[in-house]
Structure 1
């Protein structure tokens, strides 16, 4: 077999592969931040569909590059540092596998995906920290000891398989078994503030399309129901509380990747409003408006009347927090969370669909789980 290098030098394709792996990981971090971090996410709304697909493509190729050494013969006599390969392979494998858990929303249980999302982020931070340390060592000309964990070794295919196995096992343990439950609890949403009464809801982030979260006073809150109906009406909070309550327990999925299992909602079903306002025969769509002045959403009439859809005012047994859509929000469990418009104060029955806020900026009208952006 032809030797990989001559005169003590690595082949050019191996050097390029090494640099690509580093650059692709940095790009993965940047695109991941854009998809997840609320402030950045909101600023880049129009570019999010492209960023999402770039992130997935980078992740798939990054995963493939981690496996290349398994299919190739390493250069005899060319010694490399153990940690140079061990950390990227183990941490990178965890990142790729948990990323697959997050990406394929219909393949895995929500409890797995919820844990995978947390560990996906934390392992990315860990690998970034290692790369920074590694770069600093390179910059100052650090040379490891002749023995120990970071000693120079001539890695074999068996060693790479062992390291890959450690990464796979780590991903499965952290995602499915979660032996350190206290870590899982500590990674619950840090976005809960006084607006949620200090309650941990499990939601990884709260998004708003305006500068801040709008507030409402129940004594003055009004829900207007109008459009192509026989009896337009305006309901007070007391009127809403007088309608038959409806409960639904379902998993909540955000299009950015995180999920919350078994969320308990309480509110009213849209059929209660339909029976009151009596839509005209030509009605085919239902539009929802937020009192933040910007957020809009639309469902077909059949989608809106799905048995699982409701206008919620309680989350897990307590009134919604301001960030969660207080006092009233739409909940569409079979679709990604961007369809579940918050701070609802008007519902309009129409004969044509409305292009919602997120859809106008590139999100898919078909928001059923399994589709993306």
Structure 2
């Protein structure tokens, strides 16, 4: 899953990103962020040969950049996708499974064809990273999470949802009320095509009104629980409720 850092670390009060380990456990801090951005600005202004060399070097490190800043660099390409693990197994239509369990009356495991056969919803919204970059007007299509919960029969004691991913590390959470919103999808398509592996496919979560770290990639489990269990990045300081413009130190501009 793409790691995004909040604008302000609530634990320290700092307005700068604090150091965070990369996929191999090495810390990536403020100096790396600013140095990488500086290289990108330099690359724009250099001769083509040198610029290609810089782009190659930046491409080699972009998978370890947890900030989204490489989206501003040559060949950044808009979206920046990352993982918190060194490698992620690939799932095909034949091998993919999504389990819905926990506090439900009818646990069920869906195949990819099962999910494709269900009624599909389409949303076109901005994708907003908590670090500041945005991809406007992005189409997502998939099954409303609320439909899967209704099919499972959520029990009275249920209060929240825990999401797990087949990378083996990433987790996320929503309250039951948040999960039932019509703008929360178990997404099968993005930008009018099937979601590829690097983008979190074949199935990912899409939580339209929240910062993108809530939209868990490589979704494999939806477990109904009796309380909210903070997810991977929330255990490292992110807000559990990640409403765009109203969380992670951003309270003044809901579109920034």
TM over 0.5: yes
Partner of 2:226: 351
Q: Distance in 1 between matches of 2:24 and 2:240?
A: 19
Partner of 1:80: none
CA contact (8 A) 1:214 1:322 kept: no
Larger relative strand fraction: 2
Match of 1:242 among 114, 117, 126: 117
Q: Aligned pair in 2 of structure 1 residues 311, 219: CA closer, same or farther (>3 Å)?
A: same
The reply to whether residue 206 of structure 1 matches residue 81 of structure 2 is yes
Q: CA deviation at 1:213?
A: 3.8
Give 1:260-275 correspondences, 5 Å limit. 260-275=135-150
Provide the TM-score with structure 2 as the length reference: 0.70
Which structure: larger Rg? 1
Q: CA deviation at 1:189?
A: 3.2
The reply to whether residue 331 of structure 1 matches residue 206 of structure 2 is yes
Aligned residues: 206
Provide the TM-score with structure 1 as the length reference: 0.49
Partner of 2:196: 321
Partner of 2:66: none
Partner of 1:125: 41
Q: CA deviation at 1:281?
A: 1.0
Match of 1:372 among 248, 251, 255: 248
Q: CA deviation at 1:320?
A: 0.7
CA RMSD of aligned residues (A): 3.4
CA contact (8 A) 1:289 1:295 kept: yes
Structure 1 residue runs without a partner (length 5+): 1-30, 60-120, 131-183, 191-201
CA contact (8 A) 1:289 1:297 kept: yes
Larger relative helix fraction: 1
Partner of 1:74: none
Give 1:218-229 correspondences, 5 Å limit. 218-229=93-104
Structure 2 residue runs without a partner (length 5+): 1-15, 47-70, 250-256
Q: CA deviation at 1:34?
A: 6.7
Q: Aligned pair in 2 of structure 1 residues 294, 256: CA closer, same or farther (>3 Å)?
A: same
Q: Aligned pair in 2 of structure 1 residues 33, 360: CA closer, same or farther (>3 Å)?
A: closer
Of structures 1 and 2, the one scoring higher in RCO (CA 8 A, sep 6+) is 2
